[in-house]
């Protein structure tokens, strides 16, 4: 009886041992199989060593704080579309902030870029020294100053006008000039209406106050966009961050950057007074007081681009009704436009 019991125990031990080996082998096979899911471990903020292109707007606010915390994050400002294209073509940076329209244009031109995040949503305002324009219809017969003819500000404003049965070429006068120049002239009272983004609208308000001029945000173009048929209460993505592929950046760095940017944005929102001087330190043209004030109007809300795909595509589909798609490289964004780690 004792011998039978010992034999039974030995058999059980062998069965358990074989089962363990089989499970281990199965696990190893699954880990190595092409279909196995692999999780990218995000690098910490302290581990990041990146050159990041920066545009003069709210998208840069978290970047300035990240650079303040980690000197290995080097910010490289750009001012024009030509500078942006050159920066991306030469792979001078691993990541870069850009208007969504520029991001799509560069992608459609064949540059090795993909949209990582949407960071800033509609932040265009009609600014005026007068209060008589309560609606878009009240702009008829007025001169309105815009920046960048054929650019995203122009296309959005024109689209909204056309959809409200206002001919932008005959019902009012659109004048184009540099946004900082428009901000200065508006603050001095030299012009009465201008479409500005942030922080330019806040800069104009502060300068107007110093000059004794009352300046108001009389229209929020995000709200006007949300009144369009099919766009009710829709957000419109204005700026984001692209990944420059084959620039040496790793998936771990990209994941770490995205996580750090989102976390830092929360800090920026909670510390408007503190972020102003930090931004001015890295981008001297963006003054501390204006940066602090602009946070109330900037709609700085970073989200992964892949999660915003429907909203990005809705924006360009809507604009394509009135704009020449050549402005965006000739086609709507496809699946390859969005970065996936």
Does residue 10 lie within any of the structural domains? no
Distance CA 261, CA 50 (A): 13
Tokens of 93: 């940076």
Q: Torsions phi, psi of 285, nearest 5?
A: -70, -20
Q: According to the model, what pLDDT value does residue 38 have?
A: 53
Number of domains in the chain: 2
Q: Are residues 257 and 289 in the same domain?
A: yes
Q: According to the model, what pLDDT value does residue 8 have?
A: 40
Does residue 34 lie within any of the structural domains? no
Condensed to tens digits (0 to 9), the pLDDT of residues 198-229 reads 999 999 999 899 888 889 999 999 999 999 99
Q: Are residues 118 and 137 in the same domain?
A: no
Q: Are residues 215 and 67 in the same domain?
A: no
Q: According to the model, what pLDDT value does residue 12 have?
A: 40
Are 256 and 48 in contact, with CB atoms under 8 Å apart?
yes
Rounded percentage of the chain residues whose pLDDT exceeds 90: 72
Average pLDDT over residues 97-105: 95
Condensed to tens digits (0 to 9), the pLDDT of residues 326-336 reads 999 999 999 99
Tokens of 152: 């995203």
- Minimal CA–CA distance to 207: which of 175, 191, 177, 185? 185
Average pLDDT over residues 10-14: 41
> Mean pLDDT, the chain, as a whole number?
88
CATH number of the domain at 142, please.
3.40.190.10
Q: Are residues 103 and 188 in the same domain?
A: no
Helix (H) or strand (E) holding 244: strand 237-244
Boundary (domain end) residue, out of 206, 225, 244: 225
The region of weakest confidence among 1-5, 165-169, 238-242 is 1-5
- What is the model's pTM? 0.86
Boundary (domain end) residue, out of 225, 257, 282: 225
Does residue 149 lie within any of the structural domains? yes
Condensed to tens digits (0 to 9), the pLDDT of residues 57-84 reads 999 999 999 999 999 999 999 988 899 9
Q: Are residues 155 and 241 in the same domain?
A: no
Boundary (domain end) residue, out of 202, 225, 248: 225
Q: Are residues 216 and 246 in the same domain?
A: no
Average pLDDT over residues 18-43: 50
Q: Are residues 133 and 189 in the same domain?
A: yes
Distance CA 161, CA 27 (A): 61
Q: According to the model, what pLDDT value does residue 274 have?
A: 98
Residue 29, pLDDT > 90, answer no
Alpha helices by DSSP H, 177-248: 179-188, 200-210, 221-225
Q: How far is CA 140 from CA 54, 143, 197, 221, in A?
A: 36, 9, 22, 16
Does residue 240 lie within any of the structural domains? yes
Q: According to the model, what pLDDT value does residue 182 have?
A: 87
Q: Are residues 271 and 146 in the same domain?
A: no
The conformation of residue 322, written as its DSSP 8-state character, comes to T
Domain that holds residue 155: 125-225
Does residue 20 lie within any of the structural domains? no
Q: Are residues 220 and 131 in the same domain?
A: yes
Residue 26, pLDDT > 50, answer no
Are 138 and 219 in contact, with CB atoms under 8 Å apart?
no
Q: According to the model, what pLDDT value does residue 17 have?
A: 44
Residue 56, helix vs strand vs coil: coil
Does residue 272 lie within any of the structural domains? yes
Rounded percentage of the chain residues whose pLDDT exceeds 70: 89
Distance CA 268, CA 58 (A): 10
Q: How far is CA 100 from CA 32, 36, 212, 327, in A?
A: 38, 33, 36, 12
Q: According to the model, what pLDDT value does residue 292 have?
A: 97
Does residue 30 lie within any of the structural domains? no
Q: According to the model, what pLDDT value does residue 6 have?
A: 40
Q: Are residues 242 and 255 in the same domain?
A: yes
Looking at per-residue pLDDT, the higher value among 210 and 170 belongs to 170
For residue 53, what pLDDT band results from cuts at 50, 70 and 90?
A: very high
Q: Are residues 210 and 167 in the same domain?
A: yes
Q: Are residues 313 and 261 in the same domain?
A: yes
Condensed to tens digits (0 to 9), the pLDDT of residues 128-155 reads 988 767 799 999 999 999 998 888 999 9
What one-character-per-residue DSSP string does 29-41 give? HHHHSTTS--PPP
Residue 31, pLDDT > 80, answer no
Does residue 160 lie within any of the structural domains? yes
Helix (H) or strand (E) holding 76: strand 73-77
Residue 177, pLDDT > 50, answer yes
What one-character-per-residue DSSP string does 150-194 give? TSHHHHHHHHHHHHTT--TTTTSEEEE--HHHHHHHHHHTS-SEE
């Amino acid at each position: 009886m004792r011998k039978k019991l010992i034999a039974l125990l030995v058999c059980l031990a062998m069965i358990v041992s074989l089962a363990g080996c089989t499970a281990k082998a199965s696990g190893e096979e699954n880990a190595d199989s092409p279909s196995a899911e692999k999780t990218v471990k995000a690098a910490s903020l302290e581990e990041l060593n990146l050159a990041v292109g920066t545009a003069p707007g709210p998208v840069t606010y978290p970047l300035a704080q990240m650079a303040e915390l980690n000197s290995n994050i080097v910010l490289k400002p750009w001012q024009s579309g030509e500078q942006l294209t050159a920066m991306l073509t030469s792979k001078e940076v691993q990541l870069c902030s850009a208007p969504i329209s520029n991001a799509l244009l560069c992608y459609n031109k064949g540059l090795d870029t993909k949209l990582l995040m949407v960071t800033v949503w509609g932040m265009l305002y009609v600014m005026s020294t007068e209060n008589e324009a309560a609606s878009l219809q009240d702009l008829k017969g007025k001169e309105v100053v815009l920046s960048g003819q054929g650019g995203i500000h122009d296309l959005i404003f024109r689209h909204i006008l056309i959809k409200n049965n206002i001919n932008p070429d005959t019902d009012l006068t659109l004048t184009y000039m540099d946004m900082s120049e428009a901000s200065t002239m508006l603050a001095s009272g030299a012009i009465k209406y201008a479409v500005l983004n942030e922080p330019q609208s806040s800069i104009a308000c502060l300068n107007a106050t110093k000059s004794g001029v009352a300046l108001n945000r009389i229209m929020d173009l995000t709200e006007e966009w949300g009144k369009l048929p099919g766009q009710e209460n829709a957000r419109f993505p204005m700026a984001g961050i692209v990944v420059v592929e084959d620039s040496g950046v790793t998936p771990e760095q990209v994941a770490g950057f995205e996580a750090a940017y989102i976390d830092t944005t929360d800090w920026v929102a909670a510390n408007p007074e503190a972020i102003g001087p930090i931004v001015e330190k890295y981008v001297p043209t963006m003054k501390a007081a204006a940066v602090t004030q602009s946070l109330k109007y900037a709609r700085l809300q970073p989200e992964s681009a892949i999660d915003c795909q429907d909203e990005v595509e809705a924006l360009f589909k809507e604009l394509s009704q009135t704009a020449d798609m050549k402005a965006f490289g000739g086609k709507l964004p496809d699946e390859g436009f969005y970065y996936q780690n």
